[in-house]
Amino acid sequence: MLRLLVHLLFLLNIGSALANSLPPVADVHVHYKWSQTEVTTPQQAVEAMQRNGVVLAVVFGTPPELVLDVKATEDLRIVHFFQPYLHPFLKPSWFLNKHAPVAVREALASGLYKGVGEIHISDGIGPRMDNVNFNSILQIAAEFDAPVNLHTNSSSPLYMQRICTKHTKTRFIWAHAGGLQAADVGELLSACDNVWVEFSARDHLKSVGGIPVADMDGNLAEGWLAVMKRYPDKFMVGSDPIWPITEIDSWHTDDTGWQKVDEVYAFHRRWLNTLPNELANKLRYRNAAQLFK
């Protein structure tokens, strides 16, 4: 029995040493939502980030107040974002809810939330560029100097460009690098200096359209290194712990994204390790730390 106890302590010490040896990571796309609560506690989510070297995390919650259950520790800073989906059923039509801007203002004024998002928008579906609720939320975010995480479903960067050129005082984090190729992202960054780009859901598990940022060996897809070097202060990483990707927010299936997150972090570490050290450090942590001051 004593031998078993000693062995277990040895394994725990090895695990702790390995976690501490990982370079610090800022994860700017984390979810904790109603469909995850039965399989993952807030503490388990925090532990998953800690064992992967995460020291700064941006967390979204659905419903939005659920995010506050994910609490900071001595070695993990949590930045809570307010997601204006006031009820899970309202996700597809959040921009039609006249109470959403009021809720965003109250959330940011409370000091509990430091940003807005993730917000899903789709070219051809909504919101329109003249949607009052959408524009009000972006203006309120600018008032509080609170970054907004936008998820755009579009086949080109033009939809995002129309938004960031209209709201020049709002700081945007473009989720999943827009789901687009490197050249498209470079085009957007050349047009809007108020946009940062994050690589969540560009891993082999969740990449939309089959275009992950890198292959399984960490080799970057064409064009990414060049655009990263051109805009070294604009890129960040994220885990987006959502799974299965084909049944998001299903009422009959628990979201087990936190059970997959180790694999996602390992994927990002592989391609980050191929970058020049200075650039890798910026993407891994420093850009996010600077963005969130």
Handedness of CA 221, 226, 229, 234 (dihedral sign): negative
Average pLDDT rounded to a whole number, residues 50-68: 95
Chain segment 10-24, per-residue pLDDT in tens? 334 334 434 458 999
Q: Are 216 and 204 within 8 A, CB to CB?
A: yes
Q: How many CB atoms lie within 10 A of CB 203?
A: 25
Question: Greater confidence, 123 or 256?
Answer: 256
Chain segment 183-202, per-residue pLDDT in tens? 999 999 999 999 999 999 99
Cis peptide before 118 (omega within 30 of 0): yes
User: How much is the pLDDT for 142?
Assistant: 98
pLDDT score of 6 more than 90: no
pTM exceeding the 0.75 threshold for the entire prediction: yes
Domains of the chain in start order, with CATH, are: 28-291 (3.20.20.140)
Quote the mean pLDDT of the chain. Answer: 90
Cβ-in-10-Å burial (0-12, 13-18, 19+) of 210 comes to exposed
The Cα 147–Cα 241 span in angstroms is 20
What six digits make up the tokens of 280?
Answer: 């890798």
Phi, psi of 163 (to 5 degrees): -75, -50
